[in-house]
């Protein structure tokens, strides 16, 4: 069974060397969805939403929210931000397994990593 929790953070960035508007500093209201998969445990849960929130908040949200992503990630495209997020969660959410990460840069633009890519 799969369990998904949604998170939000605000951050600024620019894309060095990009030929377009995104080369200039700008911000986004990012939305992150973290999906984990596993069996239903004896307590009736696959993974406690509270624990998922705690881990993602500590490892990701507190480090990215209201920050300039260029200070953290060399080329902070949505793709590279999601790789950075995946790296921060890998050691902390291995049981149950993270099976999908989805990062919305805008309401209608997002990137996704599935279990095969994580």
CA distance readout (Å), 75 to 13, 23, 80, 81, 92: 9, 11, 7, 8, 24
Which residues are marked as active site? 22, 66, 105
Nearest to 55 by CA among 107, 3, 12, 105: 3
């Amino acid at each position: 069974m799969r369990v998904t929790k949604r998170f939000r953070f605000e951050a600024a960035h620019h894309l060095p060397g990009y030929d377009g508007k995104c080369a200039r500093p700008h911000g986004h209201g990012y939305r992150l969805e973290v999906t984990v998969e596993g069996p239903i445990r004896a307590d009736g849960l696959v993974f406690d939403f509270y624990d998922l929130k705690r881990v993602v908040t500590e490892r990701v949200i507190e480090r990215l929210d209201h920050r300039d992503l260029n200070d953290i990630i060399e080329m902070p495209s949505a793709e590279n931000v999601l790789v950075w997020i995946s790296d921060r969660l890998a050691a902390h959410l291995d049981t149950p397994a993270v099976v999908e990460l989805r990062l919305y840069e805008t309401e209608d633009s997002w990137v996704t990593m599935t279990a095969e890519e994580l």
